[in-house]
Amino acid sequence: MSVVHHPRKMLVTGGAGFIGCNFVRQILGEDPELEIINLDALTYAGHRISLEDVENRHSSRHHFLQGDIRDRKLLAEIFERHEIDTVVHFAAESHVDRSIDGPLDFIETNVMGTAQLLEAARSAWKGRSDARFHHVSTDEVFGSLDENGFFTEETPYDPSSPYSASKAASDHLVRAWARTYGMNVTISNCSNNYGPYQFPEKLIPLMIRNAVEGRPLPVYGDGSNVRDWLYVIDHCRAIAEVVRKGVSGRTYNIGGHNEMKNLEVVEILCDTVDALLPGEKPRRELITFVKDRPGHDQRYAIDAGRIDRELGWTPSVDFEKGLRETVRWYLDNEGWCRAVTEENYGGERLGQG
């Protein structure tokens, strides 16, 4: 049975990261009575600079804390001091290539961290029905599709990488805490996100950066791998709907209805950069095919019918429009790109096994 949940004291984990900072910005703008405690460890992919406008605009309702979700004592203090009634859990190691190079970091954060967070919530809430734990996950837990079909909420899990395996494990933990302890939980599994504030190791911001600087655009394999692309603001709107209106215990798939081969994505991106920042030669000439990623899933595609039918959410931004907005944002925010990468990442390839 669906009961509308009204968050008032929300703990957002990983709220200085890509999707987290966009979600915090979005939901504080929507709900003038909401207060957010934003907990982030500020690893290489999380940065206070991504929250500067939020902290200036919502200083009385946004409280940032630097800390690790594996720190049980810290979590207990946060729940008690701030009377948390809602958790939205983004905090995770999230890059497949990095998981190939260092899988145990992903187990520590994504599995052990989620378990600590669940236990802290369970201990603080003691069976409260008016508190909710929302876990943000990925479509990668389902493995790979062939040319036909879509991932549904009933698709069996079949993860291929250490990253997707760690997220699959955390999904199972959330469901287990709901079934064993009666916690009010929801889960969402989303397709590939893109948009502002994404750390430039991921495909789209990396390609934008390289295209602007005239560097090679590395495409894995033959570029035929297919992904469904979801504009991050659409994703944030969907999460807010699930948190408020989702059925307790239920999973919702969130997709962008923008299924595309990786090579096609890079080609459209090249054309978009050319249009916004003309160069001496077309950026498509920079495309370079490189050795494929180990265990690279061929195709992801989301059936987002449940969230449409039950909550009325559909994506509002088509890929070419969203990509144009994303390219424009990165061109206008070169200072942000330099600030977040200068000590952490130089554009080198990761995850070659």
The full DSSP string for 159-225 is: --SHHHHHHHHHHHHHHHHHHHH---EEEEEE-EEESTT--TTSHHHHHHHHHHHT--EEEETTS--
Instruction: Determine whether 139 is an active site residue.
Output: yes
Q: Which residue has the tokens 């019918």?
A: 305
Per-residue pLDDT, 259: 95
Q: Domains of the chain: which residue ranges?
A: 9-197+230-256+298-316
Per-residue pLDDT, 311: 98
Per-residue pLDDT, 345: 61
Report yes or no: 190 and 230 within 8 Å, Cβ to Cβ.
yes
Q: Which residue has the tokens 């990925």?
A: 138
More confident position, 76 or 350: 76
Whether the predicted pLDDT of 179 surpasses 90:
yes
% of the chain beyond a pLDDT of 90: 90
Nearest to residue 170, comparing CAs of 220, 114, 125?
114
Per-residue pLDDT, 111: 98
> Considering 68, 97, 140, 171, which one is annotated as catalytic?
140
Instruction: Determine whether 163 is an active site residue.
Output: yes
> Considering 139, 228, 241, 267, which one is annotated as catalytic?
139
Q: Give the pLDDT confidence of 16-66 residue by residue, as tens digits.
A: 999 999 999 999 999 999 999 999 999 988 999 999 999 999 999 999 999
Q: Any idea which fold 9-197+230-256+298-316 has?
A: Rossmann fold (3.40.50)
Per-residue pLDDT, 295: 86
> Considering 97, 163, 241, 297, which one is annotated as catalytic?
163
Query: How crowded is residue 128: how many other Cβ atoms within 10 Å of its Cβ?
Result: 13
Q: Give the pLDDT confidence of 209-263 residue by residue, as tens digits.
A: 999 999 999 999 999 999 999 999 999 999 999 999 999 999 999 999 999 999 9
List for the chain the helix, strand, coil content (%; round to 5): 45, 15, 40
Instruction: Determine whether 140 is an active site residue.
Output: yes
Backbone angles phi, psi at 68, to 5 degrees: -105, 135
Per-residue pLDDT, 201: 87
Per-residue pLDDT, 350: 61
Q: Give the pLDDT confidence of 128-170 residue by residue, as tens digits.
A: 989 999 999 999 999 999 988 999 999 999 999 999 999 999 9
